[in-house]
Amino acid sequence: MKRLIAIAMLVAALVTGAAAESPLYKKCENVKGITTVYITRQMLQMAATMAPKDESAMSLLKDKLDNVMIVTSQNAKGADYMNKLRSEISSQKGYEQLMRINDDNENVVIVQRPVTDDKKEYVISVIGKDHATMIVLEGRLTLEDLSRLSKGVGDVAVGHPAS
């Protein structure tokens, strides 16, 4: 029995470690001035049990999200680097652009690509002159789920307080 538990723990560690080795994560994890955060499904499920009792948010965390990756920079050099990475995400790699917003200070792009028949990957990127944030969500999310998740997140993600 102890052997079975040890094997199960090893497999779980390998699966979690492999997920954190996504191409975007690998390109950003050791770049000076860029912060990377990878949140596994297990951590999302644990957070759902500790979060305030917003049923729809808990459902998203527990049932629909497989992982979340956040890459952020608060300087111009990091923003330039992340802008180049964003340009690599294209329809040639299976991504479909859902939305693009350009204004004087920031550029926001949301793209998606299918991972499996029932899972999608969404990449939300906000890039300004001296800051950048990319959020990658993977799971069984709909556009409605993405809209619920994004309420108030955009301002916080780029370093502005939520109102």
User: pLDDT value at position 91?
Assistant: 67
pTM: 0.75
User: pLDDT value at position 1?
Assistant: 41
DSSP H helical ranges for 23-142: 23-28, 41-50, 55-59, 76-88
Cα separation, 96 vs 93, in Å, equals 9
Tens digits of residue pLDDT in 45-87: 787 777 566 666 677 777 888 888 999 999 999 999 998 988 8
Order of strands, sheet of 106-114, starting from the edge strand that comes earlier in the sequence: 34-40, 65-73, 132-139, 120-128, 106-114, 96-102
If you count them, how many residues does the chain have?
163
Cα separation, 61 vs 63, in Å, equals 6
Contact 135, 157 (CB under 8 A): yes
CATH number of 22-157: 3.40.1000
Contact 122, 76 (CB under 8 A): no
Tens digits of residue pLDDT in 88-140: 887 678 899 998 999 888 999 999 999 999 999 999 999 999 999 999 999 99
Count of helices and strands (H, E) across the chain = 7, 6
Amino acid at 96: E
